[in-house]
Amino acid sequence: MTGEKGTIAILTGGGDVPGLNPAIRAVTIRALREGYRVLGIRRGWAGLAELVPDPAADNRDHVQPLTEDVVNRAGRTGGTFLHTSRTRPSRLPKALLPEHLRDRYPDEVNDITPDVLKNLAFLGVDYLIPIGGDDTLSYAQRLHEEGVKVVAVPKTMDNDVPGTDYCIGFSTCVTRTIELTHQLRTTAGSHERFLVIEVFGRYAGYTALLPTMAGAADRCVIPEHPFDMELLCDLLSYDRNRHPSRYAVVLVSEGARISGAGAMTFEGEEQDQYGHKKLGGVGDRVATLLKACSPRHNRGRRVNVVSQRLGYLVRCGDPDALDSIVPMAFGNLALDLVLQGTFGRLVSIRNGVYDSVPIDVVTGRKKQVDVPKYYNTERLRPRYKTLLRQPLFIMTSDV
């Protein structure tokens, strides 16, 4: 069935977060009722990279028609029923080329954008709505430059897509971080230990800073400011000695760096197609160093440490209230832009108001915590004196 107004394709790329299915649902239902045909591209950009532009080919693994029944069943759940990947068609390794393209792209790394454009034309796609973080959306910007009519939706639990105060997935991540940290307190208190919790945040510390501001932790360390290990140990010792149950809590962003210790902590050397190594292990590293230096700050007595990486626990499961409401609004905003004939835009929230910005903002700069404004580097905790007229999530305003 071809919609009388044209065809809209939706895809989700990068890591999954709660709120993706509500966004897909919002776009689909509104688009169908406005007279469009809607397609779901499966596995992010991989679906468009691997699709075979032949009417006789079986492309069910790459694309599916979207109906109200399909999206209504998925719309209340977490994850993405369209599935996702970290595929980057502009830098696709030779080993990952689909079989039908291997003869045409002989290099070790290939830009197969010409075939992505052919596949969009083969599917009859008039408008493309990608939902993702800055990596996924950087390729959406490339397609916009190639003439594709793109309206983008920001998603990432790190909340670090430029141009918007809020990205889908962030509220659920913060909510889960607060809940899980409070649950872990019982173990830390029972054993009178330091509690080190590693949270997401490669380049931006919002997922550590905001839960700390909400009372989940005593201290936090973030990627934007390399921290001194002795200072952290001294502060946590102070917090522990003042607590009736004699424990203290620190949230550690996965991208946090220890002063004098060089780069971030990685699980290995392998990189994804966007050039990122997999982060992980800084929490355990901090825990080991805290245990070693604790006697110097506790009258010669060692303090043991509980170390826990929250990882995928904060990105799995159903969305919270905000990650059900915002995706609905973002989906409808995207449709508004399509109806207006306005493309090359990223739907956004700025200072508490729904809006849109040019999509090239995602490649123009990084969105990070304003350290002098929001982070006390001497106390390794948020500043609480800059709240007047701040947006809902305070330090996430991107100006």
Segment 60-72, tens digit of pLDDT: 999 999 999 999 9
Mean pLDDT estimate for the chain: 92
User: What is the average per-residue pLDDT within 231-251?
Assistant: 97
Q: Which residues belong to CATH 3.40.50.450 in the chain? A: 7-168+317-364
pLDDT computed for residue 281 by the predictor: 84
**270 phi, psi to nearest 5 deg:** -65, 140
pLDDT computed for residue 396 by the predictor: 60
Q: What percent of the chain has pLDDT over 90?
A: 85
Amino acid code (one letter) for 171? S
> What would the pLDDT profile of 299-343 be if each residue is shown by its tens digit?
999 999 999 999 999 999 999 999 999 999 999 999 999 999 999
Amino acid code (one letter) for 310? L
pLDDT computed for residue 272 by the predictor: 57
pLDDT computed for residue 4 by the predictor: 81
Classify 171-314+370-382 by CATH class: alpha beta
pLDDT computed for residue 171 by the predictor: 96
CA distance 19 to 209: 22
- Of 75-84, 99-108, 266-275, the least confident: 266-275
- Please state, as a whole number, how many other Cβ atoms lie within 10 Å of the Cβ of residue 300: 8
Q: Which residues belong to CATH 3.40.50.460 in the chain? A: 171-314+370-382
**What residues are labeled active site?**
158
Q: Is the pLDDT of residue 165 over 60?
A: yes
Closest CA to 44 of 98, 96, 85, 90: 85
pLDDT computed for residue 1 by the predictor: 47
Q: What percent of the chain has pLDDT over 70?
A: 93
Count how many residues are written for the chain.
399
Q: Is the pLDDT of residue 399 over 50?
A: no
* Three-state secondary structure call for residue 92: strand
Element (H, E) at 270: strand 266-271
CA distance 146 to 335: 21
By 3-state DSSP, what share of the chain in percent is helix, strand and coil, each rounded to 5? 40, 20, 45
Strand 219-221 and strand 375-376: the pairing is: unpaired
Instruction: Among 3.40.50.720, 3.40.50.450, 3.40.50.800, 1.20.120.1200, name the CATH number for the domain at 7-168+317-364.
Output: 3.40.50.450
Closest CA to 389 of 352, 349, 348: 352
Element (H, E) at 114: helix 113-123
CA distance 54 to 99: 14
Residue predicted with more confidence, 391 or 292: 292
CA distance 331 to 325: 10
Element (H, E) at 361: helix 361-364
- Looking at residue 85, the DSSP 8-state letter turns out to be -
Q: Which residue has the tokens 């936090």?
A: 220
CA distance 331 to 293: 50
Q: Is the pLDDT of residue 269 over 70?
A: no
Q: Based on DSSP, count helices (H) and strands (E) in the chain, helices before strands.
A: 12, 17
- Of 150-154, 187-191, 332-336, 365-369, the least confident: 365-369
User: What is the average per-residue pLDDT within 34-52?
Assistant: 97
This prediction's pTM: 0.92
pLDDT computed for residue 2 by the predictor: 52
CB 78 within 8 A of CB 18: yes
Q: Is the pLDDT of residue 196 over 60?
A: yes
Q: Is the pLDDT of residue 159 over 50?
A: yes
pLDDT computed for residue 163 by the predictor: 92
CA distance 330 to 317: 20
Residue 16 tokens read as 């999954």
